[in-house]
Amino acid sequence: MLKAISDYSENEKLLLVLQGCDYATYEANDDIKKFNRYQNNQIDGFSERTLQDMEILVMLKDLGFPMHELGTYLYKDLISEICEVLKKLSDRRDDINVCRELLGKLNDAYSSFYHAIGREWKELGISSFHLYIIDALESIDYDSVDQELSSKINGNDFYDISYGTQAFMLAAYALKKYSFSDAEYKKPLLKKLNNGPKPREYW
């Protein structure tokens, strides 16, 4: 559950530091402020990357993601980084290998891709990074999902995929690389990464 850093007690702040999510929480709170401005069309001073991030947050909100969970903002960061990789592709045949390699990294919980975002950028442990995303995924409100949007992203034959693969699909859709048309909505069946951390209750 996210709240402004100033609203935390001294004990809560200490716990955040010990868990390694102090900086990640600070950045998520900053994203919330930007998102509120974006929704009110107050985008003066927003960079192209910030606008992209806000559009990703709109997409996640429309897919039922909880906007009060740190994991939603970490997932946004993951999707945004994938977008940066995909932007460099030129639709050549060689790019297929780049996408395969990226998907391999996205399905390996301890890959260099997750290390760069979680550990180096967000100053979180890799396991914590994934657990916050899992918390957000488990809190999706499927009653509020924009079914048309979900169908365009997932198509008719949606199958059980990892949230790493789903992040790739969301990035590709955000960049208008693909879209399914006339697809019937089916509830997504997102699974954890095979070698990802165990749920919190087992720690």
CA-to-CA distance for 57 and 65, rounded, in angstroms? 9
What is the DSSP secondary structure assignment for residue 68, as one 8-state letter?
T
CA-to-CA distance for 192 and 79, rounded, in angstroms? 16
In this prediction, residue 21 carries a pLDDT of: 53
In this prediction, residue 202 carries a pLDDT of: 31
Amino acid at 11: N
In this prediction, residue 170 carries a pLDDT of: 96
Residues in a beta bridge with 161:
190
In this prediction, residue 160 carries a pLDDT of: 72
Q: Which residues of the chain have pLDDT under 70?
A: 1-21, 91-94, 156-159, 182-192, 194, 198-203
> What tens digit of pLDDT does each residue of 129-159 get?
999 999 999 999 999 999 999 888 887 665 6
Distance set, CA 142 to CA 129, 130, 139 (Å)? 23, 21, 9
In this prediction, residue 89 carries a pLDDT of: 86
In this prediction, residue 201 carries a pLDDT of: 42
